[in-house]
Structure 1
């Protein structure tokens, strides 16, 4: 059975970059009828906060990315300890004591000599007495996994055939000096024990994947299929890393972005297929193919979400937006005709309030000097009401006959006088909703 996972750290709110990873893993699982796991990477007790765990779940529920089960790495520390002991017994795990400053000096020296700046494994030469002395002086060291210096190869679902020389990579630190288990080993143990078959993540993890493949093999596990998606950039190709905090999913929600608009964009962005607004999750699942995505950095422009949101809203029946219409102040008896009028003229649901204020309070007439006599004559012909869908046509016909005006010269001045705007909804739909018409004077 296909099993995928999304493994966010609860150290902040998830953003569009996280969503890309979550969505791809979700769609793969759902298309195969498999299992999607939400795995909370909370092994860092100082930075992990329960409020962010709740926020991650809220954001995913808002988008409709429903998980089959939740796992928490903080509840699996005994499993990681067992894996670490197994690696020690195999001679693949060793303690190292260099300070960050010492490591930096080593890297600089290697670079000056034209060598790759990888850890030199000096700790492997320490005697037990030397290790004990260093522990007394510096505290516990970090625990590194000893890589086999051979080529690590796999066929990536997006990048194609990958081959990395393990000798060009530092032996990865799996456990910090303070005992904190790091993602690299925790993820391997979890993926193996949870039967994860497919892993999609950012291309900045390619080297991590290489080292994890060796750890998986050392522990006797089966490697999942890996795919590494491109990283997002800004619309001009600029790095998004410093802006991701402003692209949190809850911020986009606050701005009125609709879930299906966001999902439709992210499910195609960076692929060879055009972005198409989908009506529901089933369409997204059916149209998804991880192999259609490319390796090149992918431009993301938050402004692209708003036309998609507008188009999505236009497709919705009143039942789907009834709460928003009511929140805008629209009486229940007017909700249906109001939504029919407004839906084509909003970008987000927050725009509904402005349209209802226009209907309820009227607008300051916008009348050009040369149109004043015409408007006065037209308003005199406007019936008292109540208005219906035929009123606009009947009134403009009468005004045309009385004044001789027609076309744009007839309709535009009347729209501006009634709404204070040069463009907007069909007047036949809007006129019956106008509670106050200030142009009557």
Structure 2
């Protein structure tokens, strides 16, 4: 059975790159009827926090990337790492190294001065006929792996193809630190082995770790998983992804009003494709996903394209759902909803005009509070020619049948009666009632605003509007 995993470190939020890796691993497992495992790699005790762990779990839950087993925590598995470490030590495949930090720093500095690649020189590595120094007092040793001195490590990467690394390029990596906590390369091997991981899909920043890990698998007589290293994500300008490009917490996108299905769809298209398809469901993605179709080159994050995709999903979203999503934004913005239009009906009217839920909330404001029109714009639109038509509208709005079709006909009849274009009365009416010349279809907007509120606003704004007109 296919078993994949996502193994974040709780040292920060779930970012775009991590979310995409999780998505690809999840999709591969789902496509093959397998299982997706979640593991929290929390051995970096100085930087790991419960807050980060919570943000990662909440981010995955919001996106809908569900897991079948876990989350497992490395810090709860320390005894297992010690057990495997002791086995390697007993079999002569690992050894204690007593080199101090100062010694290692001096060694690397000397290598750099000679133009050599900084690496551990094997000074504590036991070999036949080699005399080792006496372990110094007061130094807590680390356990190092005896990397083979010759031969190569090769694997067929599902994305990058055949990769071969000479063992002579690798030094003896640390397996266990002096405090009894495993290093990343050791912990991940023991975990993936114990958890039966068959396919390891991860970022290509781990390519250099892979030959080291394969050597540990071989030393344990274990079969390594099949690896797939996903290229990194760059900003739209080709630079390393940063906050200015959108490299923020996945939950920040929730706070900014993006729909999870839109973000998932966009992440799926970052470095992977299925013909010209831009918009698709997660069910379709699972059916189509193949690691072989992941690009070998870094993907570029485009905030505008994400916003466009989110707009498409907003247009199709259920109005009641959108009303529930908009509500927290309106509360945060200090908008009182008492006596206002039905939110779900507002969503139907407004959702085609916005790119995010936050913009959708902003578009609702005109229905819940009256804003004063800009003086110059009001002066330009309320003229001697249009004022009589507005006076007539003010009266007729009190008696018209209050539904969009009748309101539309009233606006047309009024414009025709005063020999005006529809916009010549529509724009000043918007300015008077809403303080802006930009609203959705005026007949539908008025229908939702309601007769009582429309007439109240007209009465409240009309003295100011008349004064502006008389000032022309």
State the distance in 2 between where 1:294 and 1:171 align: 33
State the Cα distance separating 1:248 from its structure 2 match: 1.3
Tell me if the contact between 1:386 and 1:432 (Cα under 8 Å) persists in the aligned partners. Answer: no
Between the aligned partners of 1:420 and 1:51, the Cα distance in structure 2 is 44
Once the two structures are superposed, residues 338-388 of structure 1 have per-residue CA deviations (whole angstroms, 9 ceiling, x without a partner) of 121111123322334433331133343442435423442332333225631
- In structure 2, runs of 5+ residues without a counterpart are 331-336, 463-472
Pick aligned residue for 1:396 from 397, 401, 411: 411
Distance in structure 2 (CA, Å) of the matches to 1:95 and 1:378: 93
The answer to whether the 8 Å contact 1:307/1:347 transfers is yes
Matches within 5 A, 1:163-312: 163-240=164-241, 247-273=248-274, 276-278=278-280, 280-312=281-313
Deviations 1:20-59 (A, max 9, x none): 2111111111111110111111233443333333332211
8 Å contact from structure 1 (residues 93, 146) kept in 2? yes
Does 2:416 match 1:405?
Answer: no
Alpha-carbon distance between aligned partners in 1 of 2:381 and 2:363, rounded to the nearest angstrom: 28
Measure the CA separation in 1 of the matches of 2:243 and 2:435: 42
Q: Which range moves more in the overlay, 427-436 or 227-236? A: 427-436
Distance in 2 (alpha carbons) for counterparts of 1:19 and 1:399:
56
Task: Report the structure number with the largest CA radius of gyration.
Answer: 2
**Which residue of the partner structure matches residue 444 of structure 2?**
429
How far did residue 107 of structure 1 move?
3.2
CA distance in 2, matches of 1:130, 1:193: 36
Deviation at 1:80, TM superposition (A): 1.2
Instruction: Name the structure 1 match of 2:147.
Output: 147
Distance 1:380 1:176 in 2: 84
CA drift at 1:423: 3.3
Moved more, 355-364 or 26-35: 355-364
SS state of the match for residue 5, structure 1? Answer: strand
Shift of 1:125: 5.2
1:347 matched to 2:355? The reply is yes
Indicate the RMSD between aligned Cα atoms, in angstroms: 2.7
Change (3 A) 1:242 1:81: farther
Separation (CA, whole Å) in 2 of partners of 1:288 and 1:171: 38
Residue of structure 2 equivalent to 1:66: 66
Q: 1:75 to 1:415 in 2, by over 3 A?
A: same
**TM-score (structure 2 length as normaliser):** 0.84
- How big is the shift at 1:61? 0.7
Partners of 1:243 and 1:146 lie apart in 2 by: 44
Distance 1:413 1:241, change over 3 A: closer
Shift of 1:335: 3.0
Greater CA drift, 116-125 or 160-169: 116-125
8 Å Cα contact 2:433-2:454 kept in structure 1: no
Count of residues in correspondence between the two structures: 437
The range that moved more, 32-41 or 103-112, is 103-112
CA shift digits 1:386-433 (9 cap, x unpaired): 631113421221123122223655654554454433434222321212
The match for 2:365 is: 357
Cα–Cα, structure 1 residues 386 and 121, in superposed 2: closer, same or farther, change >3 Å?
Answer: farther
Matches within 5 A, 1:84-123: 84-123=85-124
Shift of 1:439: 5.0
User: 1:162, CA displacement in angstroms?
Assistant: 0.7
Q: How many Å separate the matches in 2 of 1:129 and 1:310?
A: 68
Task: Say whether the 8 Å CA contact 1:152–1:164 is kept in structure 2.
Answer: yes
Q: Distance in 2 between matches of 1:331 and 1:85?
A: 72
SS of aligned partner of 1:207: helix
Segment drifting more, 97-106 vs 20-29: 97-106
Name the TM-score, length of structure 1 as normaliser.
0.89
1:172–1:54: structure 2 CA closer, same or farther, 3 Å change rule?
A: same
Structure 1: runs of 5 or more not aligned: none
